[in-house]
Amino acid sequence: MTDTLIPDMAESGATIDGLELRTQLFIGGQFRDAAGGGRFTTENPATGRPLAEVARGGAADVADAVRVARRAADDGRWSRMSPGDRKAVLLRWATLIEANAQELGIIETLDAGKPITDTVGLDMPETAACIRWHAEATDKLYGEVAPAPEGVVATITREPVGVVAAVIPWNYPAQMAAWKLGPALATGNTIVIKPASTTSLSLLRIAELGAEAGIPDGVLNVVTGPGDTVGEALGRHPDVDCLAFTGSTEVGRRFLTWSAESNLKRVLLELGGKSPQLVFPDVTDVAGLAQHVALAIFWNMGENCSAGSRLIVHRSIKERVVDAVQAELANWPVGDPLDPATRIGALINRGHMERVLHYVDVGRREGARVVAGGERILEHTGGYFVPPTIFDNVRNDMTIAREEIFGPVLSVIEFDTEAEAVALANDTPYGLAASLYTDDLNIAHRVARELKAGVVGVNAYAEGDMTTPFGGYKLSGFGGHDKSLHAHDQYTETKTTWIQLRGPG
């Protein structure tokens, strides 16, 4: 069943007639209502108006989806499919995602408030590229033969863990799903995935495209619904073998508890961050630097786990850098996410916007100085718009420098010595990403080594690409890494087979 979308897009002038939204659970290759028949409303963050009524899954639906996924795992149609055939199915899926990027991008923009240029031009191509990259690896991974003693053949092989559950956030709904689905499915697992309630729509369509590509029924299941019922039921389920989570540190902790209290399922955590951007005094291209600094904190409205939210800059160059970042804001227009010129769309919902604005108030009260933004704008649209906001005179012990704001808010902090810069950068409970800017190779290598973060960008804001793992230190998570072949490791068990050979005669 599909619901026809009738959003009020009067402000944008855009027409999206005919766009159909999948709003039901996707279990066993079929769309169906939640067992209790409940639904919840998801809204367009750019207008504050209802967008769709989505099935409110519950514990019974999770039980059903896990049962279906277990059956599909055990019957071997996917796990024992030849790697080349599995690859072909996943490649077809990636091609279908690409072919439908326009539709998927519009859905994502309406649902998440993200700029259309990003969703169509970046999120959907990256989603397809992620599936394709893992698909390509499927038939290129070999097992090992151990250096066993004479008369013994010992092999080390990889097997799927079985049933994977994934719980994902709302900031990159399609991409975060792909980061889990790509490696989990490529390695032969079946999966039950729960999108964030605010952004269920793109994943449901992507799952449907998966069925069209030939993913067998029951291998990929989507249960929509609230975290504290669907998410917890997955976390506690005794027949889920692995739980991959991206979201807040607070919820990540709960999954560890539920694992301990149930079946010791493997838990993979990709959590939040408070990432530093360090600027050393020798930097010459300050305008180029400002582009990276702005991208690091304002891309995706700052709703980004690896956002570079602390700009730690040498005192001698600070004024020039802050001026350059302010000048760069001209290139970050805020507005209707459906307008291709927009680079900053709406925050995900009213509650989150209020949380971001609360942090801005706290920053002011604690003595930091707002030099850009700082207030809600475009209120007449009904949307949740906060412009790029820059705080100067921030100390690293202030709330805005310690807590993850998850919005377009940059804190500028000064330093005098390299040792002080490193100490400030590492003085955070998080350790997801960091970047540093210098023209001096010695500083670059020295400081990159000292930073306690999973991804360090030098002279760039960077998360790497599909070939490099992504994951954090400390409260930013542990247990595995998204992207690269390291992601395959986390969805597989290692099996040793020790074969004793009999002598001749």
Residues of the shown chain interacting with ligand NDP in the complex, contacts defined by CB under 6 A:
167-171, 194, 196-198, 226-228, 231-232, 246-248, 251, 254, 270-273, 305, 404, 406, 432, 477
Provide, rounded to whole angstroms, the least separation between the CB of residue 230 and ligand NDP.
7
Place of tokens 């490099």: 468
Q: Is 58 strand, coil or helix? A: coil
Residue 440 and residue 280 in contact, taking contact as beta carbons nearer than 8 Å: yes
Catalytic residues: 270, 305
Q: Is 19 strand, coil or helix? A: coil
Provide, rounded to whole angstroms, the least separation between the CB of residue 413 and ligand NDP.
20
Strands 163-167 and 242-246 come out as parallel
Place of tokens 């249960």: 223
**C-alpha closest to that of 460 among 440, 436, 494:** 436
Provide, rounded to whole angstroms, the least separation between the CB of residue 91 and ligand NDP.
25
Please give the Cα distance from 482 to 169 (Å, whole number).
14
Provide, rounded to whole angstroms, the least separation between the CB of residue 134 and ligand NDP.
17
Nearer to ligand NDP, 280 or 406 (CB): 406
- Supply the DSSP symbol for 160: E
CA dihedral angle for residue 477, residue 306, residue 233, residue 356, rounded to 10 degrees: 120
Residue 232 and residue 256 in contact, taking contact as beta carbons nearer than 8 Å: no
For residue 326, CA distances in Å to 23, 302, 371, 388 come to 42, 16, 8, 9
Please give the Cα distance from 64 to 90 (Å, whole number).
25
The span from the first CA to the last CA of the chain, in angstroms, equals 67
Provide, rounded to whole angstroms, the least separation between the CB of residue 114 and ligand NDP.
13
Provide, rounded to whole angstroms, the least separation between the CB of residue 194 and ligand NDP.
6
Provide, rounded to whole angstroms, the least separation between the CB of residue 198 and ligand NDP.
6
Cβ-in-10-Å burial (0-12, 13-18, 19+) of 344 comes to: buried
Cβ-in-10-Å burial (0-12, 13-18, 19+) of 111 comes to: buried
Please give the Cα distance from 116 to 114 (Å, whole number).
6
Nearer to ligand NDP, 226 or 333 (CB): 226
Nearer to ligand NDP, 203 or 390 (CB): 203
What DSSP string describes 180-234? HHHHHHHTT-EEEEE--GGG-HHHHHHHHHHHHHTPPTTSEEE--S-IIIIIHHH
Provide, rounded to whole angstroms, the least separation between the CB of residue 72 and ligand NDP.
23
Please give the Cα distance from 430 to 369 (Å, whole number).
24
